[in-house]
């Protein structure tokens, strides 16, 4: 006797979200409300005051072991001051170290540089330029976000494009 089985529901993508907590918390909250049913979302609460350490290697290890390792994709929410934050740089570094997918999203609050392009963390920019990371602008359309996620996952299959050569930031920029 043959039994019909409904198609398996695809597993939720495990997504780590990197952002500047003080400047972009509202955008993070909004994103998780919009897409929490689609993705399993991780974020690094420990760096928002819970890790009491001046040891950068300890903090980097916590990023890698507690958050990045459990995900397959990092989304970097790029607001006005994201490019200045050392923890965002470290999270991108760890994402690339593990050869996970990387998606940058320009928030409506992002600033434009002299040439009119969005100012983003240097490590993210290098990987958008190399073709490893995917870049898009903020949208509330789940299909467009899902398309961006899948494009980032597809690009991550070409790990030779990773550019993790920049030195890690040692302090936040003013």
Backbone angles phi, psi at 120, to 5 degrees: -130, 170
168, part of any domain: no
Q: How many residues does the chain have?
A: 174
Which DSSP category does 83 fall into?
G
Q: Is residue 3 part of a domain?
A: no
Q: What is the pLDDT of residue 60?
A: 63
pLDDT of residue 73: 92
Per-residue pLDDT tens for 104-146? 999 999 999 999 899 999 999 999 999 999 999 999 888 899 8
Average pLDDT over residues 156-168: 97
97: its two tokens: 């170290």
Which CATH number is 84's domain given?
3.40.50.450
Residues facing residue 76 across a β-bridge? 18, 104
Range of the domain at 116: 13-161
Question: Is pLDDT at 46 greater than 50 in this prediction?
Answer: no
CB-based contacts of 58: which residues, under 8 Å, 6+ apart?
A: 51
**The total number of structural domains that make up the chain:** 1
Is position 5 within any domain?
Answer: no
Prediction pTM value: 0.85
């Amino acid at each position: 006797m043959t039994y019909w089985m409904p198609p398996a529901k695809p597993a939720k993508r495990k997504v780590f979200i990197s952002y500047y907590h003080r400047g972009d918390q509202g955008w993070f909250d909004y994103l998780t409300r919009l897409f929490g049913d689609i993705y399993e979302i991780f974020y690094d609460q420990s760096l928002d005051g819970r890790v009491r350490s001046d040891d950068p290697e300890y903090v980097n290890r916590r990023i890698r072991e507690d958050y990045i390792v459990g995900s397959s994709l990092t989304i970097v929410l790029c607001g006005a001051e994201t490019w200045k934050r050392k923890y965002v740089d470290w999270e991108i570094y760890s994402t690339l170290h593990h050869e996970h997918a990387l998606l940058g999203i320009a928030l409506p609050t992002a600033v434009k540089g002299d040439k009119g392009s969005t100012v983003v963390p240097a490590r993210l920019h290098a990987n958008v330029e190399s073709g490893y990371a995917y870049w898009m602008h903020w949208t509330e359309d789940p299909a467009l976000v899902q398309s961006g996620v899948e494009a980032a996952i597809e690009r991550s299959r070409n790990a030779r494009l990773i550019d993790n050569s920049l030195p890690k930031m040692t302090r936040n920029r003013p």
